Amino acid sequence: MRAKPTTALTGYEVLVATLWQWNISLCAGVTGGGVIHLLRYLRPWRDRYASSDLPRFFSIGEYAAGFIPLGHFLATGRPAAAIATTGAATKLLACGLSDAKLHDIPAVYIVPVSPYAAEGWGPLQDTSIHGSNIVEQLRAELGEDVFVLDSATALHAQLHRAGEVVSGGRPVVLVLVDEALRKPQGAPRRQPAKPKAHADDGAVDTFVGALRARSEGRRIVVLVGEELSRIEGISALTTRFCEAIASPLVWSINGANGVARDNPYGYGYILFGGNDEATRLWRSLGANDILLVLGAVPDEYTTNFEPVRVHSVFIVTGKQDGYGHVSGGFARCVEGASHSLRGPVAEALEAILDRLHKKPLKHRPAAIAPAELNSGTYAAASAGHVDLVDLYRRLDAWWPEGSIGFDDVCLAYKDRQYVTQRPNPNIRFHSFYRGSAMGGAFGAAVGASLGAPDAHVFAFTGDGCFRLFAGYLGEARRLGLVVFLLNNGKYSIVEQGLGKILPDVPSELYHADLEALDYAGIAEASGWDAVRLREDLSNLEELLARCLSHPKRSILVEMPVDARQELGKNPRLRNL
């Protein structure tokens, strides 16, 4: 009996099915001529709890859409996709792409190009070499991780390679060529599971042997970086590790998510927004010390371009070629011997602990960290403004369990961690500081809420950042977001910094002033709940109860803050 013929799939259908195989259930962006033949196969996103057997499409402006995969991944551990048409739409989407690359976040960015047959004929939003030459622009940033889907016969192989990149923890760009993707294709091929990596016993023995030999009689300082923030249960392990070797621990901005608040050896955040005790410890590193690096890379907010002068550095990482791992990764900024152990960090740490339990190190143990990680007094806010020290402390005591937070490029991403000092077990905060794109935290918060609808999602943003996402508030009004907006009428990080960099220049030449807007009113007009926090915080408790009482309606909290209340340190000023 003859087999029943199957309906051939177009390349677009193969692409949609492949996204689903990659565990991508969410796509976000804006429709347009270049993507209509793809979007016809995606159902609209209408409800946070609706089930589907294919990815769904959430319609929101491209700038916010570009950051949605970042927040979605950090909230769920699963990748998502962002989609835009040609022209300015692609450029807007690519702002989020930059931070996905800089923070090693797996994501898929889908953009089209002008019809090949129209090259030289002046097509609308010309992407050819005569116009924006957009493919080469994208390749300048992502290199071979840009896949131009222009061949029906090569489509499956290209998607297979792209899937390997995504599963390896990096973003990709899929470039749609309509002429090729409209053609019939074979059924999508299932992406084989990536073999699970393991820490090699011989490599662990060599690493521990070198650590034992080089650390004898010396101090060991541990640095935790962003890589650990994505490992389930790692904070308890880093506590066990520090207790086993009695060594002090410092962490980067996002590395805090790999550290437990009650780690007795936790000395705080370093450098940008860093705590005083951690900064002193970091500055004290010298030629007789050992630095043990767990999943950190030497970005400007972590090392500030300064060489680390230690006797030896020992690096544990599961990354092979992520951002910051070029030219030897952390080892390139160290003036001393370097030793690396590559493999799953949690497994590697357990293996190291097992060996140290059998034969302890003979290093110099450290004292536990003091309860207070900052010295001196905090700057006060002037009359008529919220005291951010009081606010951050009260919020730190309130955060609901299972929360996720994002710090935008505003005073909060420098000051919040300085005041609160240690990570909070109820909330994981993330900052996309490497790209430092103002307003990006909003798109990330949207992505987190779409991916984890039962989580409490918070964001701190500024009045300058607000201008980059205000037009997208309507689409997010039913997501239950809570956005704290710092209103100080300034690009305040610039204002604070230029007073030190250009002390003899009149402040009007900082160009940091902002026109006053009714931020709460704009939010309310967009369907949000909105409230203004009183300067004395007298309505804070009522406000916080309100944040949780209507879980499906987003709320914006406008706060009058003082741009001159300088809290967290900004060592980057020395580079400007």
Helix (H/G/I), strand (E/B), else coil: 267: strand
Over residues 370-384, the pLDDT tens digits come to: 999 999 899 999 999
Pairwise CA distance, residues 83 & 27, whole Å: 7
- 81 pLDDT above the threshold of 70: yes
**pLDDT (average), residues 516-539:** 97
Specify the amino acid at residue 292: L
Pairwise CA distance, residues 375 & 373, whole Å: 7
Confidence band for 2, pLDDT divided at 50, 70 and 90:
very low
Over residues 434-489, the pLDDT tens digits come to: 999 999 999 999 999 999 999 999 999 999 999 999 999 999 999 999 999 999 99
Among 552, 532, 548, smallest CA distance to 540 is for 532
**pLDDT (average), residues 55-70:** 97
Looking at residue 56, its pLDDT comes to 95
Looking at residue 304, its pLDDT comes to 87
Q: What percent of the chain has pLDDT over 90?
A: 83
Helical (H) or strand (E) element with 147: strand 146-149
Over residues 115-135, the pLDDT tens digits come to: 998 888 999 999 999 999 999
Looking at residue 328, its pLDDT comes to 64
Over residues 179-229, the pLDDT tens digits come to: 999 988 877 777 676 777 788 899 999 999 999 999 999 999 999 999 999
Choice among 333-337, 406-410, 429-433, 486-490 with the minimum mean pLDDT? 333-337
- 1 pLDDT above the threshold of 50: no
Residues facing 26 on adjacent strands: 56
**pLDDT (average), residues 344-348:** 95
Q: What secondary structure, in 3-state letters, does 469-484 show?
A: CHHHHHHHCCCCCEEE
For residue 246, what are the contacts with CB-CB under 8 A and spacing of at least 6?
265, 365, 366
Looking at residue 190, its pLDDT comes to 75
For residue 357, what are the contacts with CB-CB under 8 A and spacing of at least 6?
244
Report the mean per-residue pLDDT for the chain: 93
Looking at residue 107, its pLDDT comes to 98
| Burial (0-12, 13-18, 19+ Cβ within 10 Å), 358 | exposed
**pLDDT (average), residues 240-252:** 97
Looking at residue 51, its pLDDT comes to 66
**pLDDT (average), residues 128-149:** 96
Confidence band for 319, pLDDT divided at 50, 70 and 90:
confident
Residues facing 429 on adjacent strands: 405
- 535 pLDDT above the threshold of 80: yes
For residue 545, what are the contacts with CB-CB under 8 A and spacing of at least 6?
none
- 327 pLDDT above the threshold of 70: no
**pLDDT (average), residues 395-420:** 97
Over residues 164-181, the pLDDT tens digits come to: 999 999 999 999 999 999
Residue whose tokens read 């308890």? 236
CB 340 within 8 A of CB 317: yes
Among 24, 133, 130, 122, smallest CA distance to 79 is for 24
The edge-to-edge listing of strands for the beta sheet with 108-112 is 43-44, 56-59, 26-29, 81-83, 108-112, 172-176, 146-149
Looking at residue 49, its pLDDT comes to 61
Looking at residue 205, its pLDDT comes to 96
The whole-model pTM stands at 0.95
**pLDDT (average), residues 63-88:** 97
Pairwise CA distance, residues 435 & 432, whole Å: 6
Among 143, 67, 181, 16, smallest CA distance to 450 is for 67
**CA dihedral over 369, 370, 371, 373, signed as positive or negative:** negative
Looking at residue 17, its pLDDT comes to 94
Looking at residue 413, its pLDDT comes to 93
Pairwise CA distance, residues 3 & 45, whole Å: 37
- 341 pLDDT above the threshold of 80: yes
Distances (CA, A) of 572 to 159, 249, 565: 41, 22, 18
- 494 pLDDT above the threshold of 50: yes
Q: How many CB atoms lie within 10 A of CB 13?
A: 20
Helix 345-358 and helix 234-245: axis angle, to 10°?
30
Looking at residue 181, its pLDDT comes to 95
